[in-house]
Chains A and B, each alone.
Chain A
């Protein structure tokens, strides 16, 4: 055996720390030295996580990084869940970074598609959140992590507070594999409310010139909920939640699921479902859930992240939410995604396109939107080994008469209006994402939820239960049978669809005993953001953009 050294990474780390040490007092670096700090710590070709997800971003560090000289720092490999800031794109436009592995892009979805097309980004993969987190511990471990926290003390302990989100996972992967962790904080303090990240995992702390921005991403104004969405919500409650007795679930962030949250205390109550459905959630703190919580529907909620304006409300409801001893929310995306994957019996959410096999995607022409957590929420977890009534019933329906050993199935419900903005059909022959994958020569077409995981589709026309379909032809007709007046819907075989309806594979509002006259906004337990504030006893403090009083 030769003299192999086993601590190359550790020595590399130490060399960088030594280079940065003169800039710091202990772990604390003055705000103005941010560029010098990053130049001392980052090397060309580094794998770098610039903390950013759908809500919180290390935006101060992102701006500083994007302004560095590409002659000095280049070929970075960015591994982070959200590419959402202009600065994130600038890294690629300016030649600082080359390769990208991410999960979610939201507002930058069009810019990413353009940068890919122009060859500015070499795309690794578009992941789901936990998939990317998993790779942090396998083959995408960061050399440097630039993270965001609310407060730090002089030992480098961090308080990440309600928006803890990805931070513990990023730090865990980086700090224990000889990586370097730099935290931007809103404020340096002597004593933290609680320690979310121990200082022993943090190398440098720098006070940002402004608090990190948090986008109110999960606030749906009840004033914008339509009667069609209320009709769909009624069908979902009566046709899916009630018969399966779904208690543990995750909701998407669209208006149809917001409508469900708001009719639990009215329509759900009238159906006698309180305590029988929707008691445990893996969910961001949706303001539209307030009326259901206040009327005693919800037993507990674990959160991926937080939501602007909800902190005080959650602090006042410790029986419902996960709080620290300091009384503020502790969110954790990895933990909540895991809860959603293994401990939820149902995912219900919207999508932008569905094809004839039930595959769905939010990637539409020219937009690489990413997935976030939806593919994990909306997938049957094959490793699950505990039974629940909803899970077993879904499994029974899928197995039919066949199979003596029946395993359960997660209910995966797609809720879509048949037409989107500008009369664009939501049901299509081929997903835009499949065409885009061909054009961009991607190895894998970005499908958000695969058709074989989808169990139900809810539209304004009715519910299709795909578990009861016994052939691909039946599945296709069941999907066409709820696709309304889109070309896909109009291409249905009417006789087959009527036979499916007789077997309850397709159910219309009238089959469920729902009158169209009842689908009115009177059913909403709150009709405005102001109603939500009142319902919370003034504890919910919506951001200015949602105020109209």
Chain B
């Protein structure tokens, strides 16, 4: 008896585990995991809070081939503590990025799935994120394309949002959300009038993959398939902008323009209207095919970041 997909690798990105994503993004059978679960790299901090850990501290790192090209990959497990950064978790990623720079690897695929810093490891987690940012900059300076992939349940929030923004390119699916302060954090600090975190439609319109891609906050939008992320990564790697003063200035100019044009908008729909995009239906409700037919804002394709 053979039911579809039975006992086989699923292609759905959102539902996949970090390890399934890492394996599925690369050529079949080419993934070699560094510091896999049998090395038992558990967080040294969690036990002090009477919490059980994970054998890989919630991040899978390794090397493999992408259409024959050697690349590195890192994938966060969004279901373990919301994919949050702890000391060891961050150190694994920093090590991978440094190795990529040292060995002049063409690209690192960074499958982000994180709420930001792990509360129990606050300072160590904050430091880890800073070190990751520095390592990304160093890797990009060394010519490594660092491609962020965002399509898991935790999205890329807090420090994870900043990390995404510092990558060479960002690929996102409809499930993916990117932001720095999470919806609940904004509501708590600024009030429900500013942002109603329970209005999930609003949350996705503002932070979700479809809006981010339309506005240039992400460089490519893909369906919820591991294979789609893989194809988009292959397309984006050659286009990754160099990490130069010019590209930073271009990014600064792009963001200033965006702030000037849409800074007063309170919802993504206002931005679309102001930009002359009048989608036939709410963007979130379009089918993948109809969404693909929408044109992005003219400034969404850019040489920045």
B residues within 8 A CB of A3? Answer: none
A517 at the interface (CB under 8 A from B): yes
A9 at the interface (CB under 8 A from B): no
- For the residues of A in contact with B, the DSSP-based class is helix
B200 at the interface (CB under 8 A from A): yes
Interface contact B3-A549, CB-CB below 8 Å: no
Identify the 8 closest CB pairs spanning chains A and B, nearest first: A270-B3, A522-B5, A522-B10, A267-B3, A518-B6, A548-B200, A549-B204, A547-B200
B208 at the interface (CB under 8 A from A): yes
Interface contact B1-A270, CB-CB below 8 Å: yes
A residues within 8 A CB of B175? Answer: 549
B298 at the interface (CB under 8 A from A): no
B174 at the interface (CB under 8 A from A): yes
Interface contact A266-B4, CB-CB below 8 Å: yes
Interface contact B287-A534, CB-CB below 8 Å: yes
Interface contact A266-B3, CB-CB below 8 Å: yes
Name the residue on A nearest B10 (C-beta). A522
B28 at the interface (CB under 8 A from A): no
Pick the contact of B7: A517, A521, A548 (CB < 8 A): A517
B2 at the interface (CB under 8 A from A): yes
Type the 1/0 row for A526-538, where 1 means its CB is closer than 8 Å to any CB of B: 0110000110001
Interface contact A547-B201, CB-CB below 8 Å: yes
B residues within 8 A CB of A515? Answer: 7
In the complex where A538-B285, A547-B200 touch, is A523 in contact with B6 (Cβ < 8 A)? yes
In the complex where A271-B1, A523-B5, A523-B6 touch, is A544 in contact with B285 (Cβ < 8 A)? no
In the complex where A547-B200, A547-B201, A549-B284 touch, is A522 in contact with B6 (Cβ < 8 A)? yes
In the bound complex, CA of A345 to CA of B5 (Å): 32
Interface contact B174-A521, CB-CB below 8 Å: no
Name the residue on A nearest B284 (C-beta). A549
A520 at the interface (CB under 8 A from B): yes
B15 at the interface (CB under 8 A from A): yes
A residues within 8 A CB of B3? Answer: 266-267, 269-271, 518, 523
Type the 1/0 row for A265-289, where 1 means its CB is closer than 8 Å to any CB of B: 0110111000000000000000000
- Report the interface size for chain A: residues with CB under 8 A from the other chain: 22
B12 at the interface (CB under 8 A from A): yes
Which has the most chain A C-beta neighbours within 10 Å: B4, B199, B287? B4
Interface residues on B, range: 20 to 34
In the bound complex, CA of A547 to CA of B284 (Å): 10
Name the residue on A nearest B210 (C-beta). A549
In the complex where A517-B7, A521-B15, A538-B285 touch, is A548 in contact with B1 (Cβ < 8 A)? no
Pick the contact of B208: A518, A527, A538, A549 (CB < 8 A): A549
Interface contact B200-A544, CB-CB below 8 Å: yes
In the bound complex, CA of A549 to CA of B204 (Å): 5
A residues within 8 A CB of B5? Answer: 266, 522-523
Pick the contact of B12: A523, A527, A548, A549 (CB < 8 A): A527
In the bound complex, CA of A548 to CA of B174 (Å): 10
A residues within 8 A CB of B15? Answer: 521-522, 527
A residues within 8 A CB of B10? Answer: 520-522
Type the 1/0 row for B1-26, where 1 means its CB is closer than 8 Å to any CB of A: 11111111010101100000000000
In the bound complex, CA of A518 to CA of B5 (Å): 9
Which has the most chain A C-beta neighbours within 10 Å: B6, B10, B284? B6
6 contacts between A and B (CB under 8 A): A269-B4, A270-B3, A271-B1, A522-B15, A548-B204, A549-B200
Of residues 213 to 257 in A, which have CB atoms within 8 Å of B's CB atoms? none
B residues within 8 A CB of A266? Answer: 3-5
Chain B residues close to A by CB (< 8 Å): 1-8, 10, 12, 14-15, 174-175, 199-201, 204, 208, 284-285, 287
A residues within 8 A CB of B284? Answer: 547, 549
B residues within 8 A CB of A549? Answer: 174-175, 200-201, 204, 208, 284
A residues within 8 A CB of B12? Answer: 522, 527
In the bound complex, CA of A113 to CA of B12 (Å): 46
> How close is A297's CB to chain B, nearest CB, in angstroms?
15
In the bound complex, CA of A521 to CA of B15 (Å): 8
> How close is B270's CB to chain A, nearest CB, in angstroms?
19
Name the residue on A nearest B283 (C-beta). A549
A residues within 8 A CB of B4? Answer: 266, 269-270
In the bound complex, CA of A521 to CA of B175 (Å): 17
In the bound complex, CA of A269 to CA of B174 (Å): 29
Of residues 384 to 406 in A, which have CB atoms within 8 Å of B's CB atoms? none
In the bound complex, CA of A484 to CA of B286 (Å): 45
A residues within 8 A CB of B8? Answer: 522
Interface contact A544-B201, CB-CB below 8 Å: yes
B residues within 8 A CB of A548? Answer: 200, 204
B residues within 8 A CB of A533? Answer: 285
> How close is A442's CB to chain B, nearest CB, in angstroms?
41
B residues within 8 A CB of A534? Answer: 287
A residues within 8 A CB of B285? Answer: 533, 538
A residues within 8 A CB of B208? Answer: 549
Interface contact A538-B287, CB-CB below 8 Å: yes
> How close is A423's CB to chain B, nearest CB, in angstroms?
17
Of residues 181 to 239 in A, which have CB atoms within 8 Å of B's CB atoms? none
B residues within 8 A CB of A270? Answer: 1-4, 6
Name the residue on B nearest A547 (C-beta). B200
In the bound complex, CA of A527 to CA of B204 (Å): 19
- New contact pairs (20) apart from A522-B10, A527-B15, CB-CB < 8 Å: A266-B4, A269-B4, A270-B2, A270-B3, A270-B4, A271-B1, A517-B7, A518-B7, A520-B10, A522-B6, A522-B15, A523-B3, A528-B14, A533-B285, A547-B200, A547-B201, A547-B284, A549-B175, A549-B200, A549-B284
In the bound complex, CA of A548 to CA of B155 (Å): 13
Name the residue on A nearest B3 (C-beta). A270
B residues within 8 A CB of A521? Answer: 10, 15
> How close is A222's CB to chain B, nearest CB, in angstroms?
11
In the bound complex, CA of A99 to CA of B196 (Å): 44
> How close is B214's CB to chain A, nearest CB, in angstroms?
15
In the bound complex, CA of A170 to CA of B200 (Å): 39
A residues within 8 A CB of B199? Answer: 544
In the bound complex, CA of A105 to CA of B128 (Å): 52
In the bound complex, CA of A269 to CA of B6 (Å): 12
> How close is B179's CB to chain A, nearest CB, in angstroms?
15
Name the residue on B nearest A268 (C-beta). B3
B residues within 8 A CB of A527? Answer: 12, 14-15
B residues within 8 A CB of A269? Answer: 3-4
> How close is B197's CB to chain A, nearest CB, in angstroms?
12
> How close is B252's CB to chain A, nearest CB, in angstroms?
32
> How close is A541's CB to chain B, nearest CB, in angstroms?
9
> How close is B153's CB to chain A, nearest CB, in angstroms?
9
In the bound complex, CA of A267 to CA of B2 (Å): 8
B residues within 8 A CB of A522? Answer: 5-6, 8, 10, 12, 15
A residues within 8 A CB of B201? Answer: 544, 547, 549
B residues within 8 A CB of A517? Answer: 7
Name the residue on B nearest A530 (C-beta). B174
A residues within 8 A CB of B174? Answer: 549
> How close is A296's CB to chain B, nearest CB, in angstroms?
16
Name the residue on A nearest B1 (C-beta). A270
In the bound complex, CA of A528 to CA of B284 (Å): 15
> How close is B240's CB to chain A, nearest CB, in angstroms?
29
In the bound complex, CA of A533 to CA of B1 (Å): 29
Name the residue on A nearest B209 (C-beta). A549
Name the residue on B nearest A533 (C-beta). B285
Name the residue on B nearest A238 (C-beta). B1
